[in-house]
């Protein structure tokens, strides 16, 4: 029986899978970036299905918004073109693809065998901003403060790395 929850899961999941495969198939980075945005937007839908409404909003704002804008901006700035394909190693093809198939079949079988566990009911949303905020500022206060330091260091590092290197001072001619 197809419930509306399962139908929505399959729809968003299909967009995720298509976007992820398209990211691999495209040669131009801007096409890959756009398919990654599609993956992130569809993942926000999956988060809503799981009851994480605040995480879904942050996913759209931070990931699909801020981070991907940074990526697209860099692609435009560096004028990135089509990537050149190089030949992969023969060992990777002859062992990697059968190994990947075997591994995915094994993992899928093990995970799906225990599929009696049910996820949250659609509509019961436990992840509203109030609950998340209380968690962040009570149980996870120390990690939260540490991440602010991390962000500060990342900002300074990005500014230092991306700034133009100072041109070498003209050598002083001593007499």
Residues 78-107 that bind another protein (CB under 8 A): 78, 80, 83-86, 88, 92, 100, 104, 107
Site for another protein contains 135 (CB under 8 A): yes
Nearest approach, Cβ of 175 to another protein (angstroms)? 33
84 phi and psi, to 5 degrees?
Answer: -85, 135
How far the first Cα of the chain sits from its last, in Å, is: 91
Contacts of residue 83, defined as CB under 8 A and 6 or more positions apart, other chains included, come to 27, 28, 29
How many residues make contact with another protein (CB under 8 A)? 82
Q: What is residue 171's DSSP assignment?
A: P
Binders of another protein among residues 39 to 78 (CB under 8 A) are 39-40, 43, 46-47, 49-52, 54-55, 58-59, 62-63, 66-67, 70-71, 74-75, 77-78
Nearest approach, Cβ of 16 to another protein (angstroms)? 6
Nearest approach, Cβ of 96 to another protein (angstroms)? 8
Q: What is residue 86's DSSP assignment?
A: -
What would the two tokens of residue 76 be?
A: 């435009």
């Amino acid at each position: 029986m197809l419930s509306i929850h399962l139908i929505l899961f399959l729809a968003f999941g299909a967009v995720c899978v298509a976007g992820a495969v398209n990211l691999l198939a495209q040669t131009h980075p801007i096409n890959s970036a756009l398919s990654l945005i599609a993956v992130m937007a569809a993942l926000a839908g999956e988060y809503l299905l799981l009851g994480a409404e605040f995480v879904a909003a942050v996913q759209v704002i931070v990931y699909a918004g801020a981070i991907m804008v940074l990526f697209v901006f860099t692609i435009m700035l560096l004028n990135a073109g089509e990537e050149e394909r190089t030949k992969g190693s023969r060992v990777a093809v002859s062992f990697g693809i059968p190994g990947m198939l075997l591994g995915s079949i094994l993992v899928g079988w093990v995970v799906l065998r225990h599929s009696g566990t049910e996820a949250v009911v659609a509509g019961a949303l436990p992840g509203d901003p109030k609950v998340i905020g209380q968690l962040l500022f009570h149980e996870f206060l120390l990690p939260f403060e540490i991440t602010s330091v991390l962000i500060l260091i990342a900002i300074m590092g990005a500014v230092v790395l991306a700034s133009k290197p100072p041109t070498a001072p003209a050598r002083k001619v001593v007499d």
